[in-house]
Amino acid sequence: MLDVIIALMPCVVVSVILFGFKALVLYATSCAGCVLCEYISRKIMKRESTVGDLSAVVTGILLAMNVPVTLNPLIILFGSVVAIVVVKQMFGGIGQNFVNPALIARIVLLTSFPSKMTNWTAPFAYLSGSADAVSSATPLADNSNISYLKLILGAHGGCLGETCAVAIILGGIYLMLKKVISPVIPCVYLGTFAIFTLLSGNDVIYGLLSGGILLGAFFMATDYTTSPINFKGKIVFALGCGILTFVIRTFGALPEGVSFAIIIMNILVPHIETLTLTKPFGSKRRTAKNG
Amino acid sequence: MSAKNNINVPFPKKPYKTHGGVHPHHNKTTSGVESVIMPPPEYVTISMNQNIGADCIPCVKPGDTVYLGQIIGDSDKYMSVPIHASVSGTVEKIIKQRDPAGRISDAVVIKSDGLMTPYLDLKAENPQNLSELTDTVRQSGLVGLGGAGFPAHIKLNVPEGKDVDTLIINFAECEPYITADHREALENSWDVFSGIYAFKDIIGIKRVIIAIENNKPDAIEVLKRIADNPTYDPDDLVRILVLKASYPYGAEKVLIKACTNRVVPEGGLPSDVGCLVMNITSVSFISRYIKSGMPLVSKRVTVDGSAVKEPKNIIAPIGTSVKDIIEFCGGYKSEPKKLILGGPMMGVAIADDSECIKKNTNAILAFDEAESSLMRETACIRCGRCAQSCPMLLTPPLIEQQLKLNNLDELKKLDVMNCMECGCCAYSCPAGKHLVQMMRNAKAKLRNVK
């Protein structure tokens, strides 16, 4: 888990630079909320504390990355209660949650506070003095094109962690080098999405760099607990994520589809696993079928 | 016509792909140290349970004088191998003994006279056909020396109708620490080849593959020099296959896949896919037995681990206690917290050092406190490392789930019985889960249903 936190650090740093001190407040509130919820719920359930495994901190950081900087810290505190208490601990704690806690929390916040969750600010707005002076749209909702360079560097409106492509990819590469995640899910996810976008005649690079798809592909879809164990299962899972993201973005009413796509595939994981179970070495039953 | 043309099965140029495996530190520090022959200890305790299959029944009684190589226990069961006195001396008593797995068996305690006088009836053999060969090998007392202790004569007794064309000499020695086979190959390289030639034609072997892991470059060089020399190997039937060191290459089914690309069916034997796999020390022992008639009475054992003062390979009479052997290696350096017979991955932990070595013991490991501490067990986060490392392509987290639910039908579907308990899953588990024990429980549950 420490590796994941290290990998998330570039994003955290960049978002604090882009959106100012308020971003740091959100990160701190979210993490503190998650850790506290984890501690208290384990205590109430009379189980061994699992705060030390740092998984609550990761959830906290990821949750904060999924909200705009203008959000009231109290709302994100509510989000962390949803993530840790409802999604994680009520299902048995680490390793037992069937969906990604941070993503469910984001969706709960999005449906409960739709306007507050989509109140984007342009980067560096905090420098001009008044926090709500300049509002800006996320590139997905905004039809005026933002240059690729701005997208890569993150100098555009959006959630805290999703704007800067370079920082996300840097973190993703770190995780792959440390062998914490395998490249299968991010590559297949992004690849599928890119192919479908290309076929539909949209701008592939714009699609990949905007919105939360990079953050989702590297940090959300690769979550061990909510993705399939086997190699084949991982491919099916990532394919599904890619297609659903494309479908929701292109045909859905929402501008963003990453969180819903990943959540839907999370729910399907047990079935994917049953269908893609590896054939044991020399297994009689299944070799007979194959001839 | 040269026999070369008869080879209808080509030699592999490089090993075929196998699944999974882990890479523990080799720790083969004793590979460069020449083996030392241990003088006979005062007492040996020879267990009557030395092989997979039936126990032997002692055929000596307290007070009898026995000589080195004399049969002291035998059985008329099919899966059995006679047991010989490993020292000359007097039978002190016959005791009931509990082995580390909890099974009770007889054991013959012999007080050594220190002379190692050989038994007079021992004679060289010259087997000409399959039944003579299996008789000879049975009389030699040989069991698989790789660790499992499977009776060698049963392995060699290829069932009729099975066409075995490939002999694989298992020299992977993939377990960390152990170098007993490595030393055997270096010290007795000629025996390996004469052993191969002694029974190759009787069984009708068309190619012999000596599979070595690449962490033994000196042994590879020595064996290659003999195998590539037309004088010693005129038909070029014996070749070396170098494997990239990875645990568990030495597992029979994995080794067969790596050497021949054939897959042994579940519950099947190597002969089902035309293979015969023998440990390198077993092969060279057969050659020595045929020449000298001296049965399996001593064993090369790697003594290593952080609590041992002078790690080395020693050749000790079978039935020597761990205590005597460690004392011969300079004693303990620090208090041993864990004693293991065999390698660290598949060996058996023993309660104390009064345990005695058996025919299939290839290592004694003694670890101090720092090296024997266990990881704290935490929850499974389904990272999938266990499934990735499983050479049998099983999925331990799903198996654990079904075991908790006591869902035997699902367990059967997940092919739990395929597990060979190599320990790769537990080794790679970041949550420190005791997955091998879990798999054993699952297997035991299924076995009890049948």
Instruction: Give the relative orientation of helices B189-203 and B280-292 as an angle to the nearest 10 degrees.
Output: 90
Give the integer Cα–Cα distance in Å for A266 and A272.
10
Do residues B250 and B158 both lie within one domain?
yes
- In a mutational test of the A interface, the residue from B415, B416, B428 whose CB has the highest number of chain A CBs within 10 Å is B415
The share of chain A scoring above pLDDT 70, in percent, equals 91
- Asked if A60 contacts A39 with a C-beta cutoff of 8 angstroms, the reply is no
**Rounded Cα distance, B177 and B433, in Å:** 23
CA angle in degrees (0–180, nearest 5) for B47-B49-B52? 150
pLDDT of residue B2: 37
Task: Determine, for residues B415 and A283 on separate chains, whether the beta-carbon distance falls below 8 Å.
Answer: yes
Has residue A132 got a pLDDT over 80?
Answer: no
Q: What are phi and psi of B361, to 5 degrees?
A: -75, 125
User: What's the pLDDT score for residue A130?
Assistant: 52
Task: Give A122→chain B minimum CA distance, Å.
Answer: 38
Tell me, what amino acid is at A62?
Answer: L
In a domain, A18, yes or no: yes
* Nearest neighbour of A229 by CB, restricted to B257, B267, B397: B397
Q: What is the pLDDT of residue B4?
A: 41
Structural domain count, chain A: 1
Partner-chain contact A281 B393, CB within 8 Å: yes
Percentage of chain A exceeding pLDDT 90: 57
Judgement on whether residues B392 and B415 belong to the same structural domain of the protein: yes
What would you report as the CA-atom Rg of chain A, rounded to the nearest whole angstrom? 19
For residue A131, what pLDDT is reported? 47
Q: How many CB atoms lie within 10 A of CB A30?
A: 30
Judged by DSSP in three states, B238 sits in strand
The predicted structure's pLDDT at residue B198:
86
Q: Are A182 and A188 in contact (CB under 8 A)?
A: no
pLDDT at B149: 84
Task: Determine the Cα–Cα distance for residues A265 and B409; give it in Å rounded to an integer.
Answer: 27
Query: Is any Cβ of chain B less than 8 angstroms from the Cβ of A287?
Result: yes
Please check whether residue B379 touches A, CB under 8 A: yes
Do β-strands B348-350 and B363-367 pair in parallel, antiparallel, or remain unpaired?
unpaired
- Give the integer Cα–Cα distance in Å for B43 and B93: 11
> What share of chain B in percent tops pLDDT 90?
62
Regarding whether B287 and B155 lie in a shared domain, the answer is: yes
Closest in B257, B265, B384 to A284, CB measured: B265
Is residue A169 included in any domain, yes or no? yes
Q: What is the ipTM of this complex?
A: 0.83
B273 and B285, same structural domain?
A: yes
Same domain, B135 and B198: yes
Nearest by Cα to B248 from B6, B1, B22, B60:
B22
Do B132 and B109 share a domain, yes or no? Answer: no
**Which residues are CB-neighbours of A253 under 8 A, at least 6 positions away?**
none
- What is the pLDDT at residue B5? 38
Q: Which residues of chain B fall below pLDDT 70?
A: 1-8, 450
Q: Which residue of B has its CA nearest to A278?
A: B393
A127, pLDDT greater than 80: no
Statement to judge: residues B101 and B173 lie in one domain: no
Query: Comparing C-alpha atoms, which of B47, B44, B42 is closest to residue B97?
Result: B47
Give me the number of domains chain B comprises.
Answer: 3
> CA-CA distance, A49 to B143, in Å (whole number)?
50
What pLDDT, on a 0 to 100 scale, did the predictor assign at position A37? 95
Considering the domain boundaries, does residue B110 fall inside one? yes
Q: Are strands B166-171 and B207-213 parallel, antiparallel or unpaired?
A: parallel
Q: Give the HSE-up count for residue B193: Cα atoms under 13 Å, Cβ half-sphere.
A: 21
**CATH assignment at residue B356:** 3.10.20.600
Given this model, what pLDDT does residue A89 score? 93
Beta-carbon separation of B398 and A229 below 8 A: yes
Q: Can you tell me the distance from the alpha carbon of B381 to that of A93, in angstroms, rounded to the nearest whole number?
A: 10
The H-or-E segment that residue B278 falls in is strand B275-279
What is the per-residue pLDDT across A177-219, written as a single tens digit (0 to 9) for each? Answer: 998 999 999 999 999 999 999 999 888 888 888 888 999 999 9
Cβ neighbours of A42 (radius 10 Å)? 17
Is B276 within the bounds of a domain?
yes
pLDDT digits (tens, 9 = 90+) for A269-285: 999 998 988 888 877 65
Judgement on whether residues B281 and B230 belong to the same structural domain of the protein: yes
Q: Is the pLDDT of residue A238 over 60?
A: yes
Residue A85, domain member (yes or no): yes
Position A151 scores a pLDDT of 80
Q: Which residue of A has its CA nearest to B410?
A: A274
Helix (H) or strand (E) holding B317: strand B312-317
Tell me if A98 is assigned to some domain.
yes
Q: Per the domain annotation, does B314 fall within a domain?
A: yes
Q: Report CB contact under 8 Å: A280, B19.
A: no
Are the C-beta atoms of A161 and A7 separated by less than 8 Å? no
Chain B positions touching A45 (Cβ under 8 A) are: none
Domain assignment of residue B215, yes or no = yes
Residue B377 within a domain: no
Measured at the CA of A132, the angle between CA A131 and CA A135, to 5 degrees, comes to: 120
DSSP string, B328-349: HTT-BSS--SEEEES-TTT-EE
pTM for the full predicted model:
0.86
Domain that holds residue B389: 385-449
* Those residues with Cβ within 8 angstroms of residue B440's Cβ, 6 or more apart along the chain or in another chain: B421
Identify the domain boundary among B342, B371, B400. Answer: B371
Question: In whole angstroms, what is the distance from residue B155 CA to residue A206 CA?
Answer: 65
- Looking at the fold, whether B218 and B284 belong to one and the same domain comes out as yes
Interchain CB contacts (distance < 8 Å): A and B? 72
For residues A158-179, average pLDDT: 91
Say yes or no: B178 and B244 in one domain: yes
CA B326 from centre of chain: 21
Do residues B95 and B213 share a domain? no
Give B 163-182 residues with CB within 8 A of chain A.
none
Among B349, B371, B393, residue at a domain's last position: B371
What's the mean per-residue pLDDT of chain A? Answer: 87
User: For B361-415, what is each residue's pLDDT tens digit?
Assistant: 999 999 998 888 888 888 899 999 999 999 999 999 999 999 999 999 888 888 8
Nearest chain B alpha carbon to A96: B381
* Contact B267/A at CB under 8 A: yes
C-beta atoms of A282 and B379 within 8 A: no
- Spell out where B23-146 has E strands: 36-37, 43-47, 57-58, 65-66, 71-74, 83-84, 89-98, 104-112
Residue A83 has pLDDT above 50, yes or no: yes
Give the pLDDT score at A290: 39
User: Using CA atoms, how far apart are residues A24 and A21, in angstroms rounded to an integer?
Assistant: 5
pLDDT at A291 over 50: no
| pLDDT at residue number A135 | 57
Please report, for the domain that includes residue A102, its CATH number.
1.10.3430
Comparing alpha-carbon positions, the chain B residue that sits nearest to A280 is B393
**Residue ranges making up the domain that contains A80:** 2-275
Interchain contact B317–A (C-beta under 8 A): no
Give how far A234 is from chain B: nearest CA, Å. 11
Decide if B393 and A287 are in contact by the 8 Å CB cutoff.
Answer: no
- Quick check: B439 contacting A, CB < 8 Å? no
Angle between helices A21-44 and A2-19 (to 10 degrees): 140
Last residue of a domain, one of B267, B292, B317: B292
For residue B16, being part of any structural domain is answered with no
Asked whether residue A284 is assigned to any structural domain, the reply reads no
Query: Which pLDDT belongs to residue A124?
Result: 78
Q: Give exposure, B35-72, as e/b (b: 16+ Cβ within 10 Å).
A: bbebebbebbbbbbbbbbbbbbebebeeebebbbbbbb
* Chain B residues close to A96, C-beta within 8 Å: 379
Residue pair A278/B387 in contact (Cβ under 8 Å)? The answer is: yes
Q: Given strand B104-112, what is the order of strands in its sheet? A: B43-47, B104-112, B89-98, B65-66
- Does residue A282 lie within any of the structural domains? no
Same domain, B157 and B59: no
pLDDT range class, residue A287, cuts 50, 70, 90? very low
Asked if the model's pLDDT at residue A33 lies above 90, the reply is yes
